[in-house]
Amino acid sequence: MCRFLKWLMIPLTLGLGTGALDAFAKSASSLSQAAMVSHRLVGSEVEAKLLRSDPTYVSIVRREFNVVVPQNEMKFGWVSRKRGEYDFTDADFIVDFAQKNRMKVRGTTLAWHRNYPRWLWDTNFSGDELKKILLEHIATEVGHFAFKFPGRVFVWDVVNEAIGPNGKPRPETIWSKIGQNPGDYIPLAFQAARKADPTSELFYNDYGIEEVNSKSDAVYELLKSLKAGGVPIDGIGFQMHIGFREPLQMDSVRKNMERFSKLGLKIQITEFDYLLPNNPSQELLERQARAYHDAAALCVSTPACEAFLSWGFTDAHSWIPDFFPGYGSALYFDEKYQPKPAYQGLLSGLLLR
C-alpha cells in the first residue's frame, strides 16, 4: 500500500473498530516488520523450555519479534541454586536462540524482592554480607553475558519494583538490609552493572507507574536524584500489566513518559498484558485490541520509547491465570496460537506515527 493511502486510513483506524484496524495493518505481515517501519523493537517474554520443545511457539517467536526477554531464566533464584554456584544453561539457550535469529535480548532482573534463591531465604545474612552477595551476583551474571554474547543483552533491568505502593522503597525486600536506609542498595546495583558491562543500557522497571500518580511521582523523584548523583541509569521500564476494569488514561501515560524522557531516560514498555476474564465477549476482545493498539501507538509516537514487549504472547502460556485466576485471556494469540483481535490492534499501533 502506498504511503499516502496509509496516512489517509489513520483517521479511519482511530474512529472505527477492529475491522478498520485490520485493513490498516494489512500492509505489514508481522509485528517485527511493522516495528521495523517505525524503528522500534517489539517482543515478548519467552521460556527456554518452550523454545526447546514447541515448534509452533518457536515459529511465532521467529516471525513476530526482534527482541525477547527470558521470563524467569535470568532471575537470581533460577541461576544460583547454591551459594556461589551459577548455572546459565537455560538463559544461554535463550540468548543463543536470539543471536541465531538476530534478535536483541532484555536481561531481567538483577535486584528484586521476589524470585531469589532459597539459600538466601534460609540464612539470616547481615547487611554487609548481603551487599557482597548482591554485588557478586551482578558482576557474575552481567559479566557472563557480556563475555559470552557481546552486545546481545542490550538492556538490564537492574532494579525491579523497588518502590512500594506508598511511594517509599519497599522495606520487605531482602536487599533493604544493605546500608542505613531501605533504598541504599539501588545506586550500588546500578554501579555494579555498569562496571560489569559498560555497554548495556541499565533500567529501572516497575508496575503501576504508567500514569502520573503518587507511585510514578516517587519513582520520578528517585530516578531524578539518582541521575543527579551520577548513578549510571539509562532508562525506565513501564511494565503495563493492565486490567479491563482499570483501563489506562493514555493522556496521563503520555505526560508521564514525557517527564521521564526529559530526565534523559529511555523508555520501554516491558511487560504489557491486558487482563480479560476467561471466554471474553467480542466487545471485551475489541476493548483489548484497542488497548494494545493505543499502547503501541503511544510508544511509536514518543521519541524516547524504544520498545514494546508483552509478558507472553499466547494465552496457552501466560503467568496471569496462576496469579489472577479466571483471567486467562490477557494476550494476543489464543490458546491454540490463533491471532485474536488484539494482534491486529498491536500491529496497527506499531505502524502509527
Residue 161 falls in the annotated catalytic set: yes
For ligand XIL, which residue of 319, 321, 334, 339 counts as binding (CB under 6 A)? 319
CB of 91 vs ligand XIL, minimal distance in Å: 14
Work out the number of other CB atoms within 10 angstroms of the CB of residue 335. Answer: 13
CB 300 within 8 A of CB 293: no
CB 330 within 8 A of CB 276: yes
Work out the number of other CB atoms within 10 angstroms of the CB of residue 3. Answer: 8
Q: Which is nearer to ligand XIL, 314 or 344 (CB)?
A: 314
Taking the C-alpha atoms of residue 314 and residue 207, their distance in angstroms, rounded to an integer, is: 21
Q: Does 50 bind ligand XIL (CB under 6 A)?
A: no
In the chain, what's the furthest Cα-to-Cα distance?
65
Q: Which listed range, 96-104, 107-115, 247-255, 256-264, lies at the site for ligand XIL (CB under 6 A)?
A: 107-115
Q: Which is nearer to ligand XIL, 160 or 200 (CB)?
A: 160
**Of 67, 114, 76, which is closest to residue 272 (Cα–Cα)?**
67
Residue 271 falls in the annotated catalytic set: yes
CB of 160 vs ligand XIL, minimal distance in Å: 5
Q: Which is nearer to ligand XIL, 20 or 267 (CB)?
A: 267
For ligand XIL, which residue of 71, 176, 200, 329 counts as binding (CB under 6 A)? 71
For ligand XIL, which residue of 30, 33, 72, 101 counts as binding (CB under 6 A)? 72
Phi and psi, residue 193, nearest 5°: -65, -40
Taking CB under 6 A as the rule, which mask of x and - marks residues 153-192 in contact with ligand XIL? -------x--------------------------------
Q: Does 200 bind ligand XIL (CB under 6 A)?
A: no
Q: Which listed range, 108-116, 184-192, 291-299, 335-343, lies at the site for ligand XIL (CB under 6 A)?
A: 108-116
Any idea how long the chain is? Answer: 353
Q: Does 13 bind ligand XIL (CB under 6 A)?
A: no
For ligand XIL, which residue of 30, 33, 101, 115 counts as binding (CB under 6 A)? 115
Taking the C-alpha atoms of residue 146 and residue 81, their distance in angstroms, rounded to an integer, is: 22
Q: Of the listed 47, 64, 141, 161, which one is catalytic? A: 161
Contacting ligand XIL within 248-277 (CB under 6 A):
271
Q: In this structure, is the dihedral angle defined by the CA atoms of residues 51, 57, 62 and 68, taken in order, positive or negative?
A: negative
Partners of 310 in the β-ladder: 44, 272
Taking the C-alpha atoms of residue 286 and residue 284, their distance in angstroms, rounded to an integer, is: 5
Q: Residue 196 corresponds to which cell in the numbers above?
A: 560489569
**Of 36, 147, 148, which is closest to residue 92 (Cα–Cα)?**
148
CB 60 within 8 A of CB 337: yes
- Count of chain residues binding ligand XIL (CB under 6 A): 9
Would you please indicate which residues are annotated as catalytic (active-site) residues? 161, 271
Chain residues binding ligand XIL by CB under 6 A are 71-72, 108-109, 115, 160, 239, 271, 319
